[in-house]
Amino acid sequence: MMYKHNKTVIIFLLCCIGKLLFAQDFKVKATLNTVASTGFYKIPVHPELTAHTKTDLSDLRIIDQSYKQVPFIIRHSLPLNPGGVFMNFQILKTTIDSLSTTIEIVCPLESGTDRISLHIGNNAVERIIFISGSNDRKQWYIIEEGVPFSRYSYYKLVIRNGHSDPLNIIKAGVYTNNKDTGTQQFTTNPPVSFVQRDSSNGCSYITVTQKDFYHLDRVALNIHGPKYYKRAAHLYNLDEKGNKIHLTSFEILNSHSPVVSFGTVKAKQLLIEVENKDDPPLVIERVSTEQSSKYLVAYLEKRKNYFIVAGNEDLKAPEYDLQKFSDSIPNLLASISYHDLRLNGEVSRSQNKMYWSQWLWPVIILFLFALGFLTYKLMADMKRSGF
DSSP assignment of 212-272: EEEEEEEEEEEEE--SS-EEEEEEEEE-TT--EEEEEEEEEETTS--EEEEEEEEEEEEEE
What's the pLDDT score for residue 303? 87
Structure confidence by residue, pLDDT tens digits, 268-285? 999 999 999 999 999 999
Q: Which stretch of 72-76, 267-271, 290-294, 352-356 has the lowest confidence by average pLDDT?
A: 352-356
Please compute the mean of the pLDDT values over residues 139-145 and round it to a whole number. Answer: 81
What's the pLDDT score for residue 246? 94
Q: What residue spans define the domains of the chain? A: 2-77+298-378, 86-175, 187-292
Q: Note whether 79 and 180 are within 8 A (CB).
A: yes
List Cα–Cα distances, 357 to 44, 339, 361, in angstroms.
Answer: 28, 18, 8
Give, to the nearest 10 degrees, the angle between helix 2-22 and helix 351-384.
Answer: 150
Domain 187-292: homologous superfamily in CATH: Galactose-binding domain-like (2.60.120.260)
What span, in angstroms and rounded, lies between the C-alpha atoms of 385 and 6? Answer: 14
Where residue 205 falls among pLDDT bands split at 50, 70, 90? very high
Run of H or E including 344: none
Where residue 351 falls among pLDDT bands split at 50, 70, 90? very low
What's the pLDDT score for residue 180? 46
Give 14 or 215, the one with higher predicted confidence: 215
Please indicate, yes or no, whether the overall pTM of this predicted structure exceeds 0.75.
Answer: no
Structure confidence by residue, pLDDT tens digits, 305-325? 999 999 888 888 888 999 888
Q: Which one-letter amino acid corresponds to residue 303?
A: R
Whether residue 96 has pLDDT greater than 60: yes
Whether residue 346 has pLDDT greater than 60: no
Q: Which stretch of 64-73, 191-200, 230-239, 356-365 has the lowest confidence by average pLDDT?
A: 356-365
Q: Which stretch of 61-70, 268-277, 335-344, 350-359 has the lowest confidence by average pLDDT?
A: 350-359
Above pLDDT 70, what percent of the chain? 78
Give 194 or 334, the one with higher predicted confidence: 194
Strand partners, 195: 207
What's the pLDDT score for residue 337? 92
What's the pLDDT score for residue 350? 43
What's the pLDDT score for residue 345? 63
What's the order of all strands across the beta sheet hosting 39-44?
A: 72-76, 294-300, 39-44, 334-335
Question: Nearest-CA neighbor of 93 among 105, 101, 85?
Answer: 105
Q: Note whether 141 and 134 are within 8 A (CB).
A: yes
Structure confidence by residue, pLDDT tens digits, 209-255? 999 999 999 999 999 999 999 999 999 999 988 899 999 999 999 88
Structure confidence by residue, pLDDT tens digits, 144-179? 655 667 888 999 999 887 666 777 788 898 876 644
